[in-house]
Structure 1
Amino acid sequence: MDWKKGLLIVPLSFSLLIPTAGAFASDHDEQMDKPTVETPGADLRADLGHLLSEHAYLAVETMRKGAEGSADFEASAGALSENTEDLTAAITSVYGEEAGAEFNEIWSNHIGFFVDYVKATGNEDEDAKQKALDSLDGYKEDFSNFLENATGERLQAHINQLIGSFDSYVAGDYEMAYEKEREAIAHMQMVAKGFSGAITDQFPDKFENTKAVTPASDLRATLGHLLSEHAGLAMMTMQNGIDGSEDFDASAAALSENTDDLAAAITSVYGEEAGNQFKEMWSGHIGNFVEYVQATGAEDEAAQEKALKALEDYRADFSSFLETATEGRLEAGPLSEGLQMHVNQLISAFDSYTTEDYDAAYDSVREAYAHMYKPAKGLSGAFVNQFPDKFAMEAMPTDMPKTGMGGTAEQQMPIEWIVAAILATMAATGVIVRRKMQKS
């Protein structure tokens, strides 16, 4: 087979590379006439969303570390390289060494050009900066030819977002820097949506005639995006906190905005009262992490233990909240175990960072980012099972059912409408609307 002509065939074995991808339900065939988040097409979209958005996240952070001359720059760059290897392995597993090697070379080169831009910025060398930008323009053409279906506009947007975030950071405009970072992460989720939709349309037999883009998979992708972004932003905010970095407030504000977006998703399904309850608990657990950071800085082990105990209490409360909201479709016990894993990953990443074991820190960062696609799959599956009519392909929903979670759910906008509106706004304005961080 000419691998270039068939380049868009993404391997079904792709999910084996990603620890977050789940197995198909035993009654998969029976579920095909019902909306579901568990299909080969939806898995493909989630896998691509995970690795592509993680690339954007790690690229932004690595560029910042380079600008700062941070001790963890090499470890951050190593994590970015590992992300490239995961993407390369997916190509190689289907198209062989030649295709994998070509992909790896082009993808690695464009990361190198960003590094060149960082170095040129540090040296205040405008000619070298322009050379790096010209090289990125050449990459855009090469990679578009490699994929054959990729548009230059998509790739240019990616370049603009990363360069824009870095330039804003160097200029001390930290709010804009994090705005652009969130924009870059969201953009790659949109790229994953477009690519996975084209792939499943072009090769339906490879994906059991399932679609990557459905109302149900939209929900799964949205939760995967926001939950993984939460993990990434939380880790960087904790690092900024212990370092006393000037951009701490901006990173904390970005994390708060992510919480607002998650709360809006819950509100759209279960109503305002449930959304407010979610936001209170979710914000509380972020506060517990902040308390752990403060206690670490003060070398107060008792305060550290107190923060960890508060996180343990949060796990129990939040698991019960979700079990009630989904009417038992999600069980509190397994939920609590998953939440403990999230807590362990962030605490481990932070502790490793403070002890200067940077390789271990970024291993935990990647684990935390990937892990959040598991609850995204579970939550979206429960929501879709609970409200199947609202995620049917043939019609858009007109209202939401009452759930007993506040009595106002039927007045809320469905999640897919909210997502469509957010994406449309981003496309029109090129930015994510920022909200002020709530003051306690």
Structure 2
Amino acid sequence: MNWKKALVVAPMSAAILFSANGGLVSAETMEKPTVTNAAVDLRANLGSLLSEHGNLAIIAMRKGIEGAKDFDAATAQLSENTQALSDAIASVYGDEAGKAFKEMWSAHVGYFVDYVKGTANKDEEAKQAALSELAQYRKDFSAFLEKATGGRAEAEALAEGLQTHVNQLIGAFDSYVAGDYAKAYSQQADARAHLFMTAKGLSSAITAQFPEKFNNQMAVTPAADLRLTLNNILSGHVAFAVTAMQNGIEGEKSAEIFKANAAQLSANTDKLSGAIESVYGAEAAEKFKTMWSNHIGYFVDYVKATAAEDEEAKQAALDELEQYRADFSEFMATATDGNAPADVVAEELQDHVSQLIGSFDAYAAGNYEEAYNKFHEGYAYANNISKSLSGAIVTQYPDKFASEMPSEMPKTGFEPAANNDMMMLWIIGASALALAAVVAIRKFQMSEGK
């Protein structure tokens, strides 16, 4: 299957045209929670596209200051992301609005590039000029979105959120240039989370504006929050895993960068295991964390083997990933009482492994366009995996996700008490996932006579 064509656009039009039939929640069946309908898919697609923009922009800025060989490929993928977002806007508001969006969005990407060039040339005036352009963009783009949403997303609130976005990307870049890699990767994680909140606000405003297109469904519900929580974590895993593998093959010159990147990847793992521990205790959390951490370790083993040109070690790492795929698939099937069938989970995991290994192999071979194509496929595919996994959990525990949350999101396009909202989103998602994990652990213990 051509994943590039299937995933690069992720248009809103697909969500808008998605029928409420076929078992999905409609106005008549609101008591049945769902992780996929027209409104939720809109939010999920926006979250995937916007957060990918944040990741690619930060990566491109880093590659630019380093004069890296893959800079052009990174910026090309960023341009494809811009086109996908523009197509999404056009699918809701028409071609003219899509073109206007693309012009403004492309311009703001260019201002970040100008800031990188100013930094490289140690030209403070050029850097300030780029920041001034971003400030003007913030005003113009906020006004554009306020008008597009019929005032449901207020320009003042949008401008505040856009300023946060600019600050996070510039901050992540400045920290990287200063050699504070731990802070740079932490700021990248914050930027990703913020853009998922952006998707939450915009999707709520759009569904309120066009209720008939979304069968009067809401983009903000407990079930949707679970899906987006998992998408945030899983796409973050992809983002930090791919760049860690790139840093790893570069050897000693990128050793400190690799260390900071790997630490952020570990922090991503801790979000899962920490939630399990907070509810079910350290023993359950440790078992889950071990399984998840091991598969990350196998990717690292593959990178080391590639650097050493050791084909036997590379195959050994792939064999370990194959065994992990089989074990984890059975684990999730048991945890979800069969709502996530082992064969389905195994297929998704195989795609995930193929995407990450494919991106790395292409990067190591100097085929940077293919490397970033695969990066995109893996990042976008996290949306599919999160839909599948969250759907299994919601089906298993419908009562936990039954109540529909009021959509109080207009006026808040980007920055609505984001920390509190993310905490709420995390608690809902992680608690359900933790419960599923511990159910599996307990069943495995019983089967082993423990």
Between 21-30 and 293-302, the greater mean CA deviation after superposition: 21-30
Distance in 2 (alpha carbons) for counterparts of 1:273 and 1:167: 40
Which segment is superposed worse, 57-66 or 197-206?
A: 197-206
Pairing partner for 1:312 from 313, 318, 322: 322
Shift of 1:278: 2.3
Q: Contact 1:12/1:206 (CA < 8 Å) preserved in 2? A: no
* Partner SS, residue 252 of structure 1: helix
For 2:333, the equivalent position in structure 1 comes to 323
* Alignment-derived partner of residue 171 in structure 1: 178
2:206 maps to 199
Per the TM alignment, residue 210 of structure 1 is displaced from its structure 2 partner at its CA by: 0.8
Letter in 2 for 1:107: W
Cα distance between partner residues in 2 of 1:87 and 1:264: 34
1:143 maps to 141
For normalisation by structure 2, the TM-score amounts to: 0.82
Deviation at 1:95, TM superposition (A): 3.4
* Stretch moving more, 214-223 or 271-280: 271-280
Q: Distance in 2 between matches of 1:421 and 1:33?
A: 20
Residue 359 (1) aligns with residue 369 (2): yes
Report the CA distance shift for 1:96/1:210 in structure 2 as closer, same or farther (over 3 A): closer
Letter in 1 for 2:332: L
The residue that corresponds to 1:13 in the other structure is: 13
Partner residue, 1:119: 117
How big is the shift at 1:90? 1.5
Following the alignment from structure 1 to structure 2, what is the Cα–Cα distance between the partners of residues 63 and 263?
32
Task: Give the AA of the match of 1:124.
Answer: K
Q: State how far apart, in whole Å, the 1-side matches of 2:278 and 2:216 are.
A: 30
2:424 to 401, 416, 420: 420
CA–CA distance in 1 between the matches of 2:378 and 2:404? 36
Cα deviation, residue 270, structure 1: 7.2
Q: Is the 8 A contact 1:215 1:391 kept in 2?
A: yes
Structure 2 unaligned blocks of 5 or more: 1-9, 147-152, 407-419, 428-450
Superposed displacement of residue 96, structure 1: 3.4
Q: Distance in 1 between matches of 2:73 and 2:364?
A: 14
Deviates more, 1:274-283 or 1:387-396: 387-396
User: CA shift at 1:421, angstroms?
Assistant: 7.7
Q: Report the alpha carbon displacement of residue 264 of structure 1 after superposing the two structures with TM.
A: 3.8
Q: Could you tell me which residue of structure 1 aligns to residue 381 of structure 2?
A: 371
1:389 CA displacement: 1.5
TM-score, normalised to structure 1, is 0.84
In structure 2, the residue matched to 1:435 is none
Which segment drifts farther, 142-151 or 313-322?
142-151
The verdict on how the C-alpha distance between 1:269 and 1:332 changes in structure 2, with shifts beyond 3 A counting, is farther
> Displacement of 1:91 after TM fit?
2.1
**What amino acid is the match of 1:389?**
D
Contact 1:222 1:419 in 2 (8 A): no
Partner letter of residue 22 of structure 2? S
Counterparts of 1:310 and 1:346 in 2: how far apart (Å)? Answer: 15
- Give the secondary structure class of the aligned counterpart of 2:94: helix
Work out whether residues 165 and 191 of structure 2, in 8 Å CA contact, stay in contact via their aligned partners in 1: yes
Cα distance in 2 for residues equivalent to 1:71 and 1:357: 10
Taking structure 1 as reference, are residues 129 and 200 closer, same or farther at Cα in structure 2, changes over 3 Å only?
same
In the alignment, residue 190 of structure 1 is paired with which amino acid? M
2-structure distance, mates of 1:146, 1:210: 25
1:263-412 alignment to 2 at 5 Å? 263-265=273-275, 273-393=283-403
Q: Quote how far apart the aligned CAs of 1:422 are.
A: 6.2
Shift of the 24–298 alpha-carbon distance from structure 1 to 2, 3 Å rule, reads: farther
Instruction: Indicate the SS of the match to 1:70.
Output: coil
Q: Structure 1 residue 281: deviation in Å?
A: 1.0
Is 1:257 matched with 2:267?
yes
1:162-210 superposed Cα distances (whole Å, 9 cap, x missing partner):
0000000000000000010000000000111111112222322111111
The question of whether the paired residues in 1 share the 8 Å contact of 2:221 and 2:405 is answered with no
Aligned to 1:27: 23
- Give the Cα separation in 2 of the matches to 1:88 and 1:267: 42
Determine if contact 1:168/1:176 at 8 Å carries over to the other structure.
yes
Task: Tell me the SS of whatever aligns to 2:172.
Answer: helix
1:277-315: CA deviations, max 9, x gaps?
Answer: 221111000000000000000000000000000000000
- In the comparison of the two structures, how many residue pairs are matched? 391
Structure-1 separation of matches of 2:381 and 2:290: 23
Specify the alignment match of 1:411 in structure 2: none
Structure 2 residue aligned with 1:52: 50
Deviates more, 1:29-38 or 1:62-71: 29-38
Distance 2:14 2:405 in 1: 31
Greater relative contact order (Cα < 8 A, sep 6+): 2
Q: Summarize the Cα distance change of 1:347–1:94 in structure 2 as closer, same or farther, 3 Å threshold.
A: same
Q: What is residue 436 of structure 1 aligned with on the other side?
A: none
CA contact under 8 A between 1:319 and 1:335: conserved in structure 2? Answer: yes
Structure 1 pair 417–264 and aligned structure 2 pair: CA distance change class (3 A): farther
Amino acid at match of 1:70: A
Runs of 4+ in 1 over 6 A off after TM superposition: 21-25, 268-271
1:152-167 map, 5 Å: 152-167=159-174
Equivalent-residue separation in structure 2 for 1:388 and 1:165 (angstroms): 40
Shift of 1:276: 2.9
The one-letter code of the counterpart of 1:26 is: G
Contact 2:31 2:403 in 1 (8 A): no
Worse-superposed segment, 294-303 or 27-36? 27-36
Q: SS of 1:13's equivalent?
A: helix
